């Protein structure tokens, strides 16, 4: 992507030179950042409880640079961590970023990556306060840790009660269909390099995959509505997997309704084109970074007409298990699929802060 442009080797700058070079492009947005990049440690004033989460993204496991632009990758690496902070019903404020870089990467490539990191920091008004940059024999590693100040109402994965309503923000399955599309075009390109990729009309699902957003707006909206979820998780590994976490930590089962699952028309149509079941894509796709949470029935009226929220089901007793009620009213047990990096090598996100 950058092959015809200027290429500066990282060893021309050295590690500290590279850091100085990148530091110049980091803007701070929060008064709470007392000491940022450039000392042994950073100092941030969060005036109370600190919420923190960390994730590692590895080339060949979590991303494929054949179709992921470095700027998008930097943006996504930040956003996926901010999403974990949101999943505690909390607003993120600071991040650290550690990079492992093989000598395949030039200074210009690292700048592209940082352009994405800085863009995410700007968009979410989050401060980059430290990190580590080191060489890596093989490919690119990005490890991000995100922090936030705990709100009065920090929400955990546990805490749901029977009959409470299951709500998701946004829509599901789009990121997965974006990935399918990119993988298909990669195969076509490998076979016939002269063919231009056919990605037209699919901006929405491509953006869901390449440039996801953290639902900071949902946390703010819930706070404004006076709704405190009773349990919450972000959808990184797929709805089914996250339902398992919520149910297991709250010691409950759940029932969700196929006809309630929010699926964007582009996602639906692309799934059909790929001969996939849109419901399965929404259930097991992953990487949507939407929020899944439970609310008391009494809070239903506050959310029911808002476009960002969809009630997809409710919590049941543990013995009922996790079930999907299909459009023709059949009840199917839900199974968690595709979330294990050690048994498959899909491009899905690893679990968050655990």
Q: Which of residues 109-168 bind a copy of itself (CB under 8 A)?
A: 129-139, 141, 143, 145-148, 150, 154, 156-157
- Cβ closer to a copy of itself: 15 or 183? 15
Q: Using the rule CB under 8 A, is 342 a contact of a copy of itself?
A: yes
Single out the residue of 1, 7, 25, 49 in contact with a copy of itself (rule: CB under 8 A): 49
Distance from C-alpha of 287 to C-alpha of 280, rounded to nearest angstrom: 14
Q: Using the rule CB under 8 A, is 55 a contact of a copy of itself?
A: yes
Closest contact distance (angstroms) between CB of 97 and a copy of itself is: 8
From the list 321, 346, 349, the residue with the least C-alpha distance to 335 is: 321
Q: What string marks each residue from 74 to 113 as x (binds a copy of itself by CB under 8 A) or -?
A: ----------xx-xx-x-----x-xxx--x----------
Cα–Cα distances in angstroms (integers) from residue 246 to residues 124, 130, 213, 242, 249, in the given order: 27, 33, 22, 6, 5
Distance from C-alpha of 133 to C-alpha of 170, rounded to nearest angstrom: 35
Reduced to 3 states, what is the DSSP secondary structure of residue 268?
Answer: helix
In which element (H, E) is residue 209 found? Answer: helix 203-210
Q: Using the rule CB under 8 A, is 325 a contact of a copy of itself?
A: no
Closest contact distance (angstroms) between CB of 233 and a copy of itself is: 6
Q: Using the rule CB under 8 A, is 285 a contact of a copy of itself?
A: no
* Distance of alpha carbon 231 from the chain centroid: 18
Question: Within positions 232 to 271, which residues make up the interface with a copy of itself, using CB under 8 A?
Answer: 232-234, 249
Stretch that binds a copy of itself, among 41-49, 203-211, 297-305, 324-332 (CB under 8 A): 41-49
Single out the residue of 1, 25, 38, 66 in contact with a copy of itself (rule: CB under 8 A): 38
Q: Using the rule CB under 8 A, is 41 a contact of a copy of itself?
A: yes
Asked if 21 and 107 touch (Cβ cutoff 8 Å), the reply is: yes
**What is the DSSP secondary-structure string of 221-242?**
HHHHHT---SEEEE-SS-HHHH
- Cβ closer to a copy of itself: 142 or 181? 142
């Amino acid at each position: 992507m950058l092959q015809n442009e200027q290429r500066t080797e990282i060893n021309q700058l050295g590690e500290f030179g590279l850091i100085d070079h990148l530091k110049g492009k980091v803007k701070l947005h929060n008064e709470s950042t007392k000491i940022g990049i450039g000392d042994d440690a950073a100092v941030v004033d969060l005036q109370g409880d600190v919420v923190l989460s960390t994730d590692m993204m590895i080339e060949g496991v979590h991303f494929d640079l054949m179709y992921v632009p470095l700027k998008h990758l930097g943006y996504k690496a930040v956003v996926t961590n901010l999403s974990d902070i949101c999943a505690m019903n909390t607003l993120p404020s600071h991040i650290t970023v550690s990079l492992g870089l093989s000598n395949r990467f030039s200074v210009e490539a690292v700048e592209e990556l940082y352009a994405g990191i800085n863009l995410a920091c700007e968009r979410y008004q989050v401060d980059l306060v430290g990190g580590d940059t080191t060489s890596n024999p093989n490919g690119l590693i990005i490890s991000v840790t995100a922090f936030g100040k705990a709100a009065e109402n920090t929400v955990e994965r546990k805490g749901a009660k029977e009959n409470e309503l299951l709500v998701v923000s946004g829509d599901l399955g789009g990121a997965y269909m974006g990935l399918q599309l990119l993988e298909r075009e990669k195969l076509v390109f490998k076979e016939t390099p002269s063919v231009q990729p056919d990605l037209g009309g699919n901006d929405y699902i491509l953006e869901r995959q390449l440039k996801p957003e953290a639902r900071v707006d949902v946390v703010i909206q819930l706070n404004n509505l006076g709704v405190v979820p009773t349990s919450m998780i972000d959808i990184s590994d797929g709805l089914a997997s996250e339902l398992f976490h919520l149910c297991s930590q709250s010691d409950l089962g759940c029932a969700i309704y196929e006809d309630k699952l929010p699926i964007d028309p582009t996602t639906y149509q692309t799934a059909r084109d790929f001969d996939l079941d849109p419901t399965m894509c929404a259930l097991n796709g992953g990487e949507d970074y939407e929020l899944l949470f439970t609310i008391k029935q009494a809070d239903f009226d506050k959310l029911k007409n808002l476009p960002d929220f969809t009630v997809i089901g409710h919590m049941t007793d543990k013995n009922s298990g996790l079930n999907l009620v299909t459009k023709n009213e059949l009840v199917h047990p839900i199974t968690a699929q595709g979330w294990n990096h050690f048994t498959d090598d899909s491009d899905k996100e690893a679990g968050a802060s655990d």
